[in-house]
Amino acid sequence: MTSVRVARAVPTVDQAGFWRATRVFWEQGYEGASLTDLTDAMGISRTSMYAAFGNKEELFRRVLKRYTRGPAAYGAQVLCEPTARQVAAAFLRALSMPPLTRAPPRDTSASRAPLPLGVAARGARRTYRLAQ
């Protein structure tokens, strides 16, 4: 007799869930953000988080990738303007956008840095450097 395995659908996280996870990482840093904080913010269970991302580091990588390709992309975009005056104008326009759509909260201190600090987080730090 052959057994049949039923594949489970991998849970997905909506855009709002990613932005809430981004906020948790910015406010608490990589190491300060617990799985409970992240799953509560995203509105998913731990089981769903592990099924969707595998671990916290992969979630961090995905959040960082989304942020650097979205709101933080203005830095690279403004440099494509043809003149210095247009670069400055585009930069000022980007700075006038709401903080969560553009940059981390202003009160982010070194003690709550968004980058992972521990030895186990070397891969996430490397991802951050490559994303810049």
pLDDT tens-digit series, residues 38-56 = 999 999 999 999 999 999 9
**pLDDT tens, position by position, 56-108:** 999 999 998 888 887 777 777 888 889 999 988 888 888 777 655 444 444 44
Asked if residue 37 has pLDDT above 90, the reply is: yes
pLDDT score, position 60: 94
Instruction: In whole angstroms, give the CA distance from residue 1 to residue 17.
Output: 43
Question: Burial code of 52-72, b = ≥16 C-beta within 10 A, e = fewer?
Answer: bbeebbbbbbbbbebbbeebb
Going from N- to C-terminal start, the domains of the chain cover 10-68, 70-103
DSSP assigned state of 97: S
- Which band of pLDDT confidence, cut at 50, 70 and 90, is reported for residue 24? very high
Cα-Cα-Cα-Cα dihedral sign, residues 79, 81, 86, 89: negative
Q: What is the CATH number of domain 10-68?
A: 1.10.10.60
> Would you tell me how many other CB atoms lie within 10 Å of the CB of residue 5?
5
Give the residue, 113 or 3, on which the prediction is more confident: 3
User: Distance of CA 112 to CAs 89, 100, 107, Å?
Assistant: 32, 17, 9
User: Distance of CA 113 to CAs 18, 80, 108, 110, Å?
Assistant: 18, 29, 6, 5
Q: How far apart are the first and last CA of the chain?
A: 54
